[in-house]
Amino acid sequence: KAGVTQTPRYLIKTRGQQVTLSCSPISGHRSVSWYQQTPGQGLQFLFEYFSETQRNKGNFPGRFSGRQFSNSRSEMNVSTLELGDSALYLCASSLQGSPDTQYFGPGTRLTVL
Amino acid sequence: AQSVSQHNHHVILSEAASLELGCNYSYGGTVNLFWYVQYPGQHLQLLLKYFSGDPLVKGIKGFEAEFIKSKFSFNLRKPSVQWSDTAEYFCAVNGGNDYKLSFGAGTTVTVRA
């Protein structure tokens, strides 16, 4: 079974731009979660989607948004990028959502200049 | 709010030494506990998890963890490490039905041959 895939793997943007990251979950998984990983803050939860509904959201500004499609694929969007948004963005999928085991993708490395 | 603390930032060991990584959490209700590992250049992957039952859980690659409810702890152990155990280890907590994982800051383990 194919794992979680994320595109693109690397992205360079400038301040003020917006970015969209994509995540394709493992086939059959209906829950997709997003996390931000930085050296200073570690792994922080962004949001979780299940059957196109956001069930939980972390403490991030409204510039961070997401959605899930009917095929369970998910996108996250960051508008008006700031230097501090530079991070590895990880997507994880699971059958029904935590506490089911979450399977992580390789991440998208976003650099904001 | 949930919080997870990992006691050690960086641990350096020789092969065949024993490993114990500490993890304490703060959460008032029922929790599900996880240890994830990130090998160099690889995705985050699950080592082991505890939901209920026997507080001593065994995971992949010879790892085990013990849940001590009275101490709010979930420490990871391995009796004899190998060079291939060099990685970053993350403790994570899920509280009930909040559909998210809260991660500790991670512990980098370096095993010297």
Write out the DSSP string of A45-66.
Answer: EEEEEETTEEEEE-S--TTEEE
The model's confidence at residue A5, banded by pLDDT at 50, 70 and 90, is very high
Distance CA B21, CA B100 (A): 23
pLDDT digits (tens, 9 = 90+) for A15-47: 999 999 999 999 999 999 999 999 989 999 999
Q: Over its length of 113 residues, how does chain B's per-residue pLDDT go in tens digits? A: 678 999 889 999 999 999 999 999 998 788 899 999 999 999 999 999 999 899 999 999 999 999 999 999 999 999 999 999 999 999 999 987 778 899 999 999 999 98
Average pLDDT over residues A72-88: 97
Report pLDDT for A89: 98
Give the SS3 label for residue A112: strand
| pLDDT value of residue A33 | 96
Q: What phi and psi, each to the nearest 5 degrees, are found at residue B83?
A: -55, -35
Q: How far A56 CA lies from chain B's nearest CA (Å)?
A: 7
Q: Give the C-alpha distances (Å, rounded to integers) separating A50 from A41, B34, B59, B84, B101.
A: 26, 21, 28, 36, 15
- Count of beta carbons in the 10 Å neighbourhood of residue A3: 15
- How confident is the model at residue B95, as a pLDDT? 84
CA distance A112 to A5: 22
In this complex, the residue of A43, A56, A97 whose CB is nearest that of residue B103 is: A43
Tell me if B104 and A104 make a contact (CB, 8 A cut-off). no
- Rounded to whole angstroms, how far apart are CA atoms B23 and B10? 14
Residue B53: per-residue pLDDT: 92
Residue B82: the pLDDT is: 97
What is the structure's pLDDT at B91?
A: 97
User: What pLDDT is recorded for position A22?
Assistant: 98
Whether A58 has its CB under 8 Å from any CB of chain B: the answer is yes
Average pLDDT, chain A: 95
CB contact under 8 A, A104 and B105: no
